[in-house]
Amino acid sequence: MLVLVGAVLSISVPSYRNYTTNQRALSTARTLASDLRVAQQEAVTRRADISVTFAGADPNCGSRASYTLGQGGVVFKRNCFPIYVEWATLPATLTWDPTGIAAAGGTLTIRSTLTLKAYNVCVAAQTGAITDDTGRLGTCG
């Protein structure tokens, strides 16, 4: 009986850890997409450029990845990634102008460090449209 319990645990514990890590990455991607929409709306509301900057190892987040929303050096939101979640490649700063248009577009990819499962959030240049591939808003591209 004890051997059977040990066998079940040796299979289920890594699977559960991988599942939870993938869910953390998915949740982070969804939060990012939402926060990018907030940045876009803040640019229109404040009638000012709003930037989102990205960090691979933010000292304010215990050296985990993060992003910040801000205006002219003033940060009004910081999101620290959960453990085992990172940027696949560190994105360039995104900026929305007072009309809500992104100066440049790009694909932001968040992934699990354990399984390498990745989720994309895309920002279209010229329009600022934000899409993702997390299953809620369609797909990037």
Phi, psi of 11 (to 5 degrees): -90, -40
Q: Which of 130, 53, 54 shows the shortest CA–CA distance to 90?
A: 54
CB-based contact 88:75 (threshold 8 Å) = no
pLDDT tens-digit readout, 8-27: 545 655 788 899 999 999 99
Per residue in 45-87, pLDDT (tens digit) is 999 999 999 999 999 999 999 999 999 889 999 999 999 999 9
| Residue (of 100, 97, 98, 109) closest to 37 by Cα position | 100
Contacts (Cβ under 8 Å, ≥6 apart) of 75: 68, 69
pTM for the model stands at 0.87
Domains of the chain plus CATH, in order, are 2-132 (3.55.40.10)
